[in-house]
Amino acid sequence: MASRLLLGLNCGKPLESVLLPELAEALSSKHNFDLQAFSFKADREVLREPRVVRVGLIQNSIALPTEKPISDQKRGIFQKLKPIIDAAGASGVNILCLQEAWMMPFAFCTREKRWCEFAEPVDGESTRFLQEFARKYNMVIVSSILERDLNHGETLWNTAVIIGNHGNIIGKHRKNHIPRVGDFNESTYYMEGNTGHPVFETAYGKIAVNICYGRHHPLNWLAFGLNGAEIVFNPSATVGELSEPMWPIEARNAAIANSYFVGSINRVGTELFPNPFTSGDGKPQHKDFGHFYGSSYFSAPDASCTPSLSRYKDGLLISDMDLNLCRQLKDKWGFRMTARYELYADLLNRYVKPDFEPQVMLTGHCSVMYCLLSASKYAYRLQGSRLTFERQ
């Protein structure tokens, strides 16, 4: 019963696990990373063949202490990821996504500008590192980096680069929503993205990327769905104290509401920085953000989801998913058909204007109050939803 609620049912059954090649298992034992694989099925259709793609998510801790030279730290992460990506390749993964800013410690919240040196152009060394794997394994790779935009005054962005299965760069998406919560105040580092909600048509399906804090924004999820995404990745960096109770709910809910699959990834470990920083909350200064709790997982449009990877260990989570499930769930629940986009559009149009007044109707209770007030010594004035009183 508990598992039915926690993981749901896929086509009426518990999710099945999948056997992986020995090579992948051997890499996971040798390099000590968690490896799990599952399969989301869809019903057989008469006119369409199943569209099964194999998707992978990688979560990892950093490789070297943050005091080490920046280039060593970055190379250390490359070395650490190599066997995990090889395991994905050996398992026949078609689309692989790494965690947010995978090529660096999660330094944004220190607000120290020294970490800007990790930034790279879209076609920089991290992309080149991954392009080789993309070619070797015929794999699409989603790589979330700190981007330095050389064509626009060297500004910084939090960007997901989409590398095609031939090693080509299909495009990029820049994080839309920047957190300003607790230690996660990343606004001193990069600006709100300017790429909208692109969906990338890859060899294996239509994918999009909702970077980290964007997962708290239902309209951000919706926009990727409206543009036709079948799989949305959510590469993240978040810690236990801040968000762990929300983690298993938000992406799963987005998958249900938007009839697509979601792959959620969070980094693992505690990252210590050389200088203490504060969170502006009156608590003592500290040198870490807390524990990045991993727990990466997949969610499907039928409300089923995989178990999560470890809270502590590096890991590769693989899942087969029949993308036909997206349309089957659209047909079943009709969320797209029953949504009232014209009503939402109208409200949002009015809401973004400075003179917006909330549409609040007076309850019966209030009307009685107004009658009493009218008979009293007070004059009242209703402006929009604001009620003011004045003694007569």
User: At 66, is the secondary structure helix, strand, or coil?
Assistant: coil
Minimum CB separation from ligand URP for residue 54, in Å? 27
Residue with tokens 């709790």: 293
Residue 97: which of 205, 245, 227, 249 has the closest Cα?
Answer: 205
| Contact call for residue 100 and ligand URP (CB under 6 A) | yes
| Contact call for residue 315 and ligand URP (CB under 6 A) | no
Give the Å distances, CA to CA, from 189 to 158, 166, 210, 236: 9, 32, 19, 16
| Beta carbons within 10 angstroms of residue 244's beta carbon | 15
Give me 65's structure tokens: 């202490």
What would you report as the CA-atom Rg of the chain, rounded to the nearest whole angstrom? 24
Residue with smaller CB distance to ligand URP, 14 or 218: 218
Spell out the residues 6+ positions from residue 122 whose beta carbon is closer than 8 angstroms to its own.
Answer: 145, 147, 159, 161, 169, 172
Residue 55: which of 259, 222, 207 has the closest Cα?
Answer: 207
| Contact call for residue 145 and ligand URP (CB under 6 A) | no
- The DSSP code for 35 is E
| Contact call for residue 261 and ligand URP (CB under 6 A) | no
* 332 labelled catalytic: no
The answer to whether residues 308 and 244 touch, using CB atoms and an 8 Å cutoff, is no
The active-site residue out of 97, 109, 212, 326 is 212
Question: In the beta sheet, which residues pair with residue 148?
Answer: 156
The active-site residue out of 41, 74, 172, 175 is 175
Stretch that binds ligand URP, among 40-48, 238-246, 284-292, 381-389 (CB under 6 A): 238-246
* 11 labelled catalytic: no
Stretch that binds ligand URP, among 15-23, 66-74, 194-202, 236-244 (CB under 6 A): 236-244
Residue with smaller CB distance to ligand URP, 165 or 176: 176
List 10, 143, 238, 258, residue binding ligand URP (CB under 6 A)? 238
Stretch that binds ligand URP, among 42-50, 237-245, 333-341, 360-368 (CB under 6 A): 237-245
* 230 labelled catalytic: no
Mask: binding to ligand URP, 181-200, rule CB under 6 A, as x and -?
---x----------------
Count interface residues toward ligand URP (CB under 6 A).
Answer: 9
| Contact call for residue 318 and ligand URP (CB under 6 A) | no
Q: Which sequence positions are flagged as catalytic?
A: 100, 175, 212
